[in-house]
């Protein structure tokens, strides 16, 4: 929550696959007495703990400790003249009443409401299409759609920045539209994000489709279902859990929208302000204005928004995602 750099790297990580669970424990050796089994279990438990330790250490050192530290500083207020004083929840109060912060939250919510359905829709459509087609072309298409995800966000955004540039960009030759003006820049950002992530989400959905037993389609065809009906009535419900998953990741990523606006900011600082999204605001509060305390408070509030937003969505879709 505290380090804006994390926003795009860790929140959209690959969904955890079916992990390597220790299945040895499922086959208790009945012949062995309980007395002999117990140390075995103990040793296995130890092995389990050892497997978890590297992750746990990194989690504590790089996430929990920094979070605790930033929560602590979010309760203080440091001023140039008086130094640091304990301020209870003053920073939080200030943030809740801060129109810049609210506008930023509102902006990412609106952005998410438009961009998320468009992107997930594209990914869903593309996944269904390549699942249906079995030509060499589909494999090529799969790869091509995935390539943008392989391009680092910063580089991809810089590239788009050149494409959008009103003076030197190729797009400006085709149309009079300024892609970086106040009215259009949000759509331009949406386009970058969609380009970056649609292919990735498509692969996730496509992988889920691969897991659906083909016999189901067989019986559906015998019952007289056409390809469209199969896609809508069978495939889509079968992968609803995966759809919910990619949507959740997208919602979290959207609320923490950071890298793309920050990279494009120099191209039109009037349109992409220092408080454009909550995370950009937190970044500038800390690193442009040295308001570390306020920045920490904003980050925590944003974390709360992300948590609540994700939870609402999960709750609303719990029937579909087998998360009851």
Partner 1 sequence: MNVRKFIVERRRRSPAGSMAVAVLTALALVATGCGSDDADEQPDGPVKIKVWAWYPAFQPVVDLFNKTHTDVQIEWTNAGTGQDQYTKLQTALKAGKGAPDVVMLEFQELPTFQLTKHLVDMGKYGANDIKGNYVDWAWKQVTNGDSVYAIPVDAGPMAMLYRQDVFDKYGLTVPKTWAEFKEQGQKLKAASPTSFMTDFGANDGGFMTGLMWQAGARPFDYTAAEAPKIGVSLNTEPAKKTMTYWEDMVDSGLADTTAFGTTDFYSGLASGKYATYLAAGWGPGYLQSVAKTTSGKWRAAPLPQWTAGENAQGDWGGSSFAVTDQSKYPKQATQVAMEIFGANKDAWKIGIDQAFLFPTATPILEWDYFLGKNYEFFGGQKVNEVFVPAYNGIGEFEWSPFNSYYFNQLTTAMNQAVSQKSSWPTALDTAQKNISTYATQQGFTVAQ
- Enumerate binding residues for partner 1 (CB under 8 A): 43, 46-47, 50-51, 53-54, 57-58, 61, 79-82, 162, 165-168, 181-182, 266-271, 273-274, 284, 287-290, 292
Cα 27 to Cα 24, 86, 105, 124: the distances in Å are 6, 56, 51, 40
Nearest to 160, CA basis, from 184, 195, 127, 121: 195
**DSSP codes joined into one string, 247-306:** HHHHHHHHHT--HHHHHHGGG-TTTS-TTSSHHHHHHHHHHTS--HHHHHHHHHHHHHHH
Q: Which is nearer to partner 1, 134 or 167 (CB)?
A: 167
Q: Min. distance of Cβ 64 from partner 1 in angstroms?
A: 13
What's the start-to-end Cα distance of the chain, in Å? 27
Rounded CA-CA distance 286/3 in Å is 10
Q: How far is CA 134 from the centre of its chain?
A: 30
Q: Which is nearer to partner 1, 58 or 68 (CB)?
A: 58
Q: Which is nearer to partner 1, 58 or 312 (CB)?
A: 58
Q: Which is nearer to partner 1, 185 or 239 (CB)?
A: 185
Q: Which is nearer to partner 1, 145 or 267 (CB)?
A: 267
**Helices 99-132 and 136-150, packing angle to 10 deg:** 160
Q: Dihedrals φ, ψ of 230, to 5°? A: -60, -45
Q: Min. distance of Cβ 43 from partner 1 in angstroms?
A: 6
Q: Min. distance of Cβ 258 from partner 1 in angstroms?
A: 16
Q: What is the dihedral of CA 228, 229, 231, 232, to 10 degrees?
A: 110
Q: Min. distance of Cβ 318 from partner 1 in angstroms?
A: 36
Q: Min. distance of Cβ 186 from partner 1 in angstroms?
A: 13
Q: Which is nearer to partner 1, 254 or 265 (CB)?
A: 265
Q: Min. distance of Cβ 143 from partner 1 in angstroms?
A: 31
């Amino acid at each position: 929550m505290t380090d804006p750099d994390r926003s795009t790297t860790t929140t959209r990580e690959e969904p955890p696959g079916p992990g390597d669970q220790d299945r040895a424990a499922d086959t208790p050796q009945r012949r062995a007495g309980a007395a002999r089994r117990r140390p075995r279990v103990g040793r296995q438990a130890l092995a389990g703990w050892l497997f978890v330790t590297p992750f746990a250490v990194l989690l504590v050192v790089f996430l929990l400790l920094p979070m605790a530290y930033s929560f602590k500083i979010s309760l203080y207020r440091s001023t140039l003249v008086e130094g640091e004083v304990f301020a209870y929840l003053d920073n939080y109060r200030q943030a809740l009443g801060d129109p810049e912060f609210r506008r930023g939250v509102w902006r990412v919510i609106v952005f998410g409401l438009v961009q998320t359905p468009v992107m997930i829709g594209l990914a869903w459509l593309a996944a269904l299409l390549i699942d249906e087609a079995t030509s060499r072309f589909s494999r090529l298409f799969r790869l091509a759609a995935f390539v943008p995800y392989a391009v680092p966000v910063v580089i991809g955004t810089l590239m788009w920045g050149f494409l959008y540039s009103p003076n030197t960009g190729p797009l400006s030759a085709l149309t009079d539209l300024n892609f970086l003006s106040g009215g259009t820049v949000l759509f331009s950002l949406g386009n970058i994000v969609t380009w970056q992530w649609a292919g990735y989400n498509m692969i996730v959905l496509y992988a889920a489709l691969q897991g659906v037993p083909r016999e189901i389609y067989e019986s559906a065809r015998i019952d007289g279902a056409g390809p469209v009906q199969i896609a809508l009535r069978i495939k889509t419900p079968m992968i609803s859990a995966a759809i919910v998953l990619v949507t959740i990741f997208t919602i979290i990523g959207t609320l923490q929208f950071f890298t793309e606006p920050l990279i494009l900011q120099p191209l039109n600082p009037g349109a992409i302000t220092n408080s454009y999204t909550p995370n950009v605001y937190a970044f500038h509060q800390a690193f442009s204005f040295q308001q570390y305390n306020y920045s920490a408070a904003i980050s925590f509030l944003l974390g709360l928004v992300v948590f609540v937003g994700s939870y609402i969505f999960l709750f609303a879709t719990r029937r579909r995602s087998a998360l009851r």
